[in-house]
Amino acid sequence: MLFYKKFLILLAIFFSLSSCNFVPLHKSDPKSKLINNKIYVENIDTEIGFYLFQNLKFSLNDNGQEKRLKLLIDLSTSEKKYAFSSYNEQTRIDLNGVIECTLSNGENTHKFTLKETVAYDVSQSIVANKASKRNAKKRLANLLSQAVLTELYHSSLNWIK
């Protein structure tokens, strides 16, 4: 019994000391520094475009000054209503977002298209419907911004540097 206690104490000390100078993988990625504050994001109109613009601007550390690289985004959305109630009223709506992005520095261009879908419920309350629709728009913008960042970080574009 005494052997196990000593072993557990030694094991706890070993693990606590071995975690010194630990850097998580998502923090140590040198490629993430490559596009930090190097891409200018153009304004996007519509409510979803505003949320998308804010998310990208924050994630790319864009301070609003003109830069060598420009990211142009064309956003289109559509709704699909389904799940009808017994009164023939829709109870669920899909909000589809498609963005066509163009990253360019004047001589090089990288184009890509991304699609995301979110859904929200419709109830009898007007206030609840507006809140759920606004929440769905924010979620769609968040998903689209994460998809754009993933495309930028994982693309092998040497001219971004």
- For the chain, list the domains and their CATH numbers: 31-155 (3.30.160.150)
Taking the CA atoms of 30, 36, 42 and 45 in sequence, report the sign of the dihedral they define: positive
Q: Residues 128-148: what's their mean pLDDT?
A: 94
Instruction: Return the pLDDT at 143.
Output: 96
pLDDT one-digit tens code per residue, 3-45: 778 888 887 777 776 666 665 555 555 545 556 778 888 888 8
Average pLDDT score, the chain: 84
Q: How many CA atoms lie within 13 A of 132 on its CB side?
A: 17
Q: How many residues does the chain have?
A: 161
Strand partners, 113: 100
